[in-house]
Amino acid sequence: NGYVDVESVRFTGLQMGLDGAADLITLSNANVKITGTLDTTGYIKVASTKFTVDATGNTYADGTLGVKGMSTLEDDLLLSEDAAVIKHTADASTTAGLSIHSTNAHVDVESVRFTSKQIGTTTDADLITLADNAVAVAGTLTVSDDVKLSEANAVIEHTSTDAAASLTIKSSSGYVDVESVRFTTDEIGIATDADLIKLTDQQVSVRGKLQTTDDILMSEATAALTHDAASGVGLAITSSNGYVDVE
């Protein structure tokens, strides 16, 4: 009905301990219960190799690791699965989500760097800046397909404050169509007749018929109306339904 002390170890039935802590170890069939802290300088093994902790602290688990609290890692997390996944499985709600966040720095995904609201590369981290209803691109934007604007009154606006700033819309090897008007280097026309108007320094050449519903005014001090065709019958100035005044 009592206990047996062997040196400083106390045996009480199936329990072993000390005076004042007699139930540190409790034995039962295929079971050892430890009440307190287990301190060992060697390996801890479960089912031989299913769960091991070596003397340096390296831990191996041959199965699923479930954690209900926060996990803090002071080194890298390495995944050896061929098709590895980091998956968030919370119940659906308005607040559910997965955040990957660095408190004071950035997050790299492959070669893409995320820093707060900015996205870029490791050598140019602010290429894209996100804001509510806005995306700012700090660099060259290359698009391999159409750019479509769904705004009711859309605008392409150049906002540089440089005194020598300008906006150029050009095609490196073709033309630029604005509505039904085609621009090709220094020529303006339509899709079926692209060179109707040619611009040079202080000169506009019209390669076709010029129609006007108002006066033609010449401000040159000594103006001339010259017909310079290489061949033809001459120059005619006529009025379809009226007269022609000269002076």
d(CA 192, CA 197): 13
Straight-line distance from the first to the last Cα atom of the chain, in angstroms, rounded to the nearest whole number: 143
pLDDT computed for residue 185 by the predictor: 94
The distance of Cα 57 from the centroid of its chain, to the nearest Å, equals: 40
What pTM was estimated for this model as a whole?
A: 0.68
Q: What is the mean pLDDT of residues 111-138?
A: 96
Residue 113: its pLDDT value, please? 98
Q: What is the pLDDT of residues 186-226, one digit of tens each?
A: 999 999 999 999 999 999 999 999 999 999 999 999 999 98
Compute how many other C-beta atoms are within 10 angstroms of the C-beta atom of residue 25.
17
**pLDDT 10s digits, 150-171:** 999 999 999 999 999 999 999 9
Cα–Cα–Cα angle for 226, 227, 231, rounded to 5 degrees: 155
CA angle, 155 as apex, 149 and 161 as ends, to 5°?
Answer: 130
Nearest-angstrom CA–CA distance, 208 and 191 = 15
Q: What is the pLDDT of residues 224-234, one digit of tens each?
A: 998 888 777 78
The residue type at 162:
D
| Token representation of residue 212 | 């006007």
Q: Give dist(CA 122, CA 111) in Å, integer.
A: 7
Give me the pLDDT at residue 42, please: 87
So what's the pLDDT on residue 1? 81
